[in-house]
Structure 1
């Protein structure tokens, strides 16, 4: 019997008990999911595409998105121009995530495990980056969630973060179905909280109507704001099919795409618009800004609780996908243990970000954790397209596809070259590439990485047997 992804001895996953295990059986089965990266059998699939809207909507209603929205104003743009950049960047970043998410129902596999088809044993490279990125996102989001919880309960910052990390780790351990059910409930609760916050903003804060940058500097600030928004939405791409792998193969792929796109797009645009509007209120201490804006008391406490719950929802998904990435690298930890490990490692990173210039460190981490993703998306999309066309419309069979040996080096080569080509176009406070500097701060690294990886990998892949 051929094994999924068995291009070599490093990729035989079903032979490893740590990669298999108990699966949820139906909506509402909230027992621990021990199942790891082994594909979900078709007779164990359930659910419909509508749940993809809530699972991708709720986790984005975080103060990370709000704080990201303030960056456009900090760069000198006016509200209208910055909002246009946010909408454009969000939609461009959300589309690949929505597309990749449709593969879950077709294969029963998570996104990084599926990347074995293209990368072979070279999947260790994107696997390691995805695992590290999940820890970084734990810090980016836990920074605000822990701060809110600490202020709500009167705790020191470190204790608020510690409790937040413990709670999100527990949800990551429980797994797929618990996360889906939590996001369904939180979609309504968090949407109500952000509506209250938006109402307060509309009546108490005026947006910036005149920008402080002009000409080429304004264009550069627009592109950088667009890139930062894109990085938020695109950051979900390596997670995409992790949360659709239990859907039946017969699930409508167009409906899956649009539910995901709408969930990511609507939530990210809403929270970033909130940040743009209230940029004068939301500072490094965003939790305190919300408490002040809502007038303290019961309403302020409600706002702080919402911030903490939003962070919990998002980071549970980070820990879950991080556990699959770690297994994809060949680490034989049971999935629940791997999820808990991601939460543990995120704790010191939060403390580091909080210890000095939060704005600078936040922006650096936000950009740096995503620069590898465009090349990854280009490679796996080309590989999938070639395989799908070779089947003339018949379903993808993972066991059959993985038995077709092919060289492993083209994907890592295109991946590295895409990242290298993008380096001159990067713009962070740690490093500003010469191209970004010449373009008045415009960060085009995401687009360059995608196009170069696409140009390098496509001819190499077409020369291989399908």
Structure 2
């Protein structure tokens, strides 16, 4: 029995069936807590200010983009239930141990990127809180030592939870949802009081193509970015857990807070594009609130960012191990924290700007992640079993070695989809780039016949005595 204070010792090796005692409701709390971050508000603001959608279109886009993409995360969770291993480790069975290196590296870069966003934003939140409580400056370059302390505090809180591992995350995500969810409701009520409802009602609707682009934007910024972590949190699920329950828990857990936050961001931007164009969304939202609400808002913002970050760092640690780094899981988590610590220092104290360029870079990674997702899901249509020993075998002769450690049908389909996606992105067709990437990858993989490895569990051999 795993306890809350015990450090999880398991790395990427599959969880034995007798240690899988999770239930789908746990995934609801995990994904709900990970998505009550204030970063959902700017996403909603861009739908109105940039895409030109009205409130009802923004809510529809949020429901399809966020709820739908996290339903896919739930589908990936079924692979974790079957194989008992992290997503990118299970991916070795599809791409081969060497062919899997490309998708795994992209996955790690995406995780580290979002962690840097969370850490930098969390540090800005703490600077604003320090400024209100102690009267210090909220400008990181004016108080560099205080900025370093803010980054370090956020990373320490992240490391404490991510280092402990799966059992601690399940408990903390559940109870923190109630605490920080209540704070977010209070902040939302105060923000709603500032809404210009006449501007909301008068906002014209956007075109169908704008809605399509909006769905792609929301999906890329929410569920698609988490898809490669779906099995990470589901590997302790009971093998008897129903697939439909895993999908519903993931979609509802993330979809409920995201639809509410994106919708709130949309109404706040009707007639006022400040939030959509702000370099510092934390400050932009704080300025909309009455002064007495500033401290509760900043505490809620800090908690929401932290709940997302320690889940991301946990997943990044497993992804690091999947790349072949031979260190204990807790050390892999520490390495990822150090990388994001240094990245946050650069963006807070050295770089001239942060959010716009960095979010664009992370969004670019959505294309190869979407292509990986399509191949993995296509494989999942037929696969019912993962060989636990072969998943850890990086040498020749294993079940998943294929041709030189690469399953070329999977890797080739992935690469073709990435090229198509980026070509469309370069032509300004961002709304359909991810759709085409998904379609090309899935269709290519299925047309080529899929993986050559055994997709079903082998039938146990029957002894001579049993036959007699």
Q: 2:296 aligns with which of 294, 299, 302?
A: 302
What is the CA deviation profile of residues 342-389 of structure 1, one whole-angstrom value per residue up to 9, with x for unaligned ones?
12212343355554444522540341232211111111122222233x
Q: CA deviation at 1:286?
A: 2.6
SS at match of 1:35: coil
- Counterpart CA distance in 2 for 1:310 and 1:376 is 28
CA separation of 1:149 and 1:211: change in aligned 2, threshold 3 A: same
What is the CA deviation profile of residues 72-110 of structure 1, one whole-angstrom value per residue up to 9, with x for unaligned ones?
122133333333222221233122111011222222111
- Counterpart CA distance in 1 for 2:104 and 2:451 is 25
Contact 1:73 1:276 in 2 (8 A): yes
1:12-51 → structure 2 map (5 Å cutoff): 25-26=1-2, 28-51=3-26
Q: CA deviation at 1:188?
A: 0.8
**Structure 2 residue ranges without an equivalent (≥5):** 141-146, 392-397, 455-468
Whether 1:409 and 2:408 are equivalent positions in the alignment is yes
Q: 2:219 aligns with which of 230, 238, 248?
A: 230
- Counterpart CA distance in 1 for 2:439 and 2:157 is 40
- Counterpart CA distance in 1 for 2:56 and 2:251 is 23
- Count residues with an aligned counterpart: 420
**Structure 1 residue ranges without an equivalent (≥5):** 1-24, 389-394, 427-432, 437-441
SS at match of 2:232: helix
- Counterpart CA distance in 2 for 1:82 and 1:38 is 42
Match of 2:183 in 1: 193
CA separation of 1:143 and 1:274: change in aligned 2, threshold 3 A: farther
Whether 1:116 and 2:92 are equivalent positions in the alignment is yes
> Which of 146-155 and 358-367 deviates more?
358-367
RMSD over aligned Cα atoms: 2.4
1:332-411 → structure 2 map (5 Å cutoff): 332-351=326-345, 353=347, 355-388=351-384, 397-399=387-389, 403=399, 406-407=402-403, 408-411=407-410
SS at match of 1:36: coil
What is the CA deviation profile of residues 5-45 of structure 1, one whole-angstrom value per residue up to 9, with x for unaligned ones?
xxxxxxxxxxxxxxxxxxxx24x432111211001111222
- Counterpart CA distance in 2 for 1:301 and 1:115 is 44
TM score, norm. by length of structure 2: 0.83
1:3-402 → structure 2 map (5 Å cutoff): 25-26=1-2, 28-75=3-50, 76-120=52-96, 121-154=98-131, 157=140, 158-159=147-148, 160-206=150-196, 208-209=199-200, 210-211=202-203, 218-231=207-220, 232-279=222-269, 280=272, 282=275, 283-297=278-292, 299-351=293-345, 353=347, 355-388=351-384, 397-399=387-389
TM score, norm. by length of structure 1: 0.84
Contact 2:399 2:453 in 1 (8 A): no
1:418-433 → structure 2 map (5 Å cutoff): 418-426=417-425, 433=426
> Which of 126-135 and 252-261 deviates more?
252-261
Q: 1:434 aligns with which of 427, 433, 449?
A: 427
Match of 1:22 in 2: none
Compare CA radii of gyration and give the structure with the larger one. Answer: 2
What is the CA deviation profile of residues 150-174 of structure 1, one whole-angstrom value per residue up to 9, with x for unaligned ones?
1112365433233212321232211
> Which of 191-200 and 75-84 deviates more?
75-84
- Counterpart CA distance in 2 for 1:366 and 1:342 is 17
Whether 1:454 and 2:442 are equivalent positions in the alignment is yes
CA separation of 1:351 and 1:70: change in aligned 2, threshold 3 A: farther
